[in-house]
Chains A and B, each alone.
Chain A
């Protein structure tokens, strides 16, 4: 009896299922033992062509559903690899270049976006505040500090798919040329649904929000490296 059950129990979690037929056949123990031995050695009566077809079906369906499904998920909502993180900001310098990994290339092709080339600039995405909370359209934010060297930069708020958010001010971005700065060159931008004095980036009604900081003509893309750079801090204000 122990020998008969050994094979399924060792190899398959299905052997843990309640064995309904265990008590039904009153067969001699020798027969059961012989059958088990034959099964183990692969000589026993097979389950026939139908069993084989079933197994192939199982294999093929696992391969197709698992392979295509996981590929779809990875491309559809996967984060790009080769990210560079500075404070709350993340950039993907290799996105859109021949050096990009296959997942980034697939995501890029599927979404149809055209990232900035190395000679144009570099895009940083910020999706958490300084406390590590996800950014939401229900809160006010303050973006303060300084940016890495760049001839021009623009700041935009988008949803998590990178789409602009409509707002009542009719303006979706802020640029470094029109910015008010402190005497030491640092700045502070208020991000809110409602008009704010000083530098104001209007925010629309949205759930999750991503801030997009585009640095144009920056030495970052031409080899000075991305370490030890000061990026502005995203500080959460009041929420409603």
Chain B
């Protein structure tokens, strides 16, 4: 009886292994949408949404986000575009800085550095395709200066990295990061546009 049961088990084991492969793929594919400790969630710890928060120094044992460069000062602005478009302005007195936007899955949707920015300052408007069509009817005065990013990813984090050559330069660079503006609904919030 037992031997007979065991003898016909192999097809079920085979089926189990095939099912395991399917579950493996589904599990791996669903991880980015279900993790709670991703960069997007962690960015909420640095301060309120829709403004630039300067991250603490990257030091051993106290890294604000994993794999950040200890030679850089960082600031993040987390926002959700369903509350309106976001405008960002920054002027950073560093010999190198870079900027990236990443979505909830941690994927970089847009990135550039101070040299590819044009004027060496950050002036950016992030909006959804629907908001872009509204903007076209009522454009801000300095639209030519702005980098306009149209993205379908509503929940986004902006990350500014600024090179700190030595301790003497750390203070002005961190102050510039703290003064960087990240404003939701710039047209209605009267943020100087």
* Chain A contact residues, CB within 8 Å of chain B: 7-8, 11-12, 14-15, 17, 19, 21, 39, 47, 51, 54-56, 58-68, 70-72, 74-75, 96-98, 100, 102-103, 105-106, 108-121, 123, 151-152, 154, 156, 158, 161-167, 172-173, 175, 177-178, 204, 212, 214, 216-217
Contact = CB atoms under 8 A, between A and B. Distances in A.
A165 B59 CA distance: 9
Given A8-B7, A151-B115, A114 B67 contact: yes
B17 interface: yes
B172 interface: no
Contacts of A178: 165-166
A62 B24 CA distance: 12
Given A96-B106, A120-B111, A165-B60, A177 B12 contact: no
Q: Which DSSP category, helix, strand, loop or mixed, fits chain B's interface?
A: mixed
22 contacts: A14-B7, A14-B9, A62-B19, A63-B20, A70-B20, A96-B108, A108-B106, A112-B38, A112-B65, A112-B106, A114-B67, A116-B98, A117-B98, A117-B102, A117-B111, A118-B111, A156-B69, A173-B71, A175-B165, A177-B95, A204-B60, A212-B67
B1 interface: yes
A153 to B, nearest CB: 10
A14 B13 CA distance: 13
A135 to B, nearest CB: 17
A105 B4 CA distance: 46
A212 B63 CA distance: 16
B7 A163 contact: no
B23 A173 contact: no
A67 B22 contact: yes
Given A15-B7, A54-B5, A152 B163 contact: yes
A74 B23 contact: no
Given A60-B16, A165-B60, A109 B102 contact: no
A214 B69 contact: yes
Contacts of A68: 23-24, 27
A210 to B, nearest CB: 11
Given A15-B3, A106-B32, A154-B69, A59 B96 contact: no
Nearest to A163: B63
A240 B59 CA distance: 26
Contacts of B41: 112
B177 to A, nearest CB: 16
Given A109-B35, A114-B65, A66 B165 contact: no
A226 B41 CA distance: 34
A67 B42 contact: no
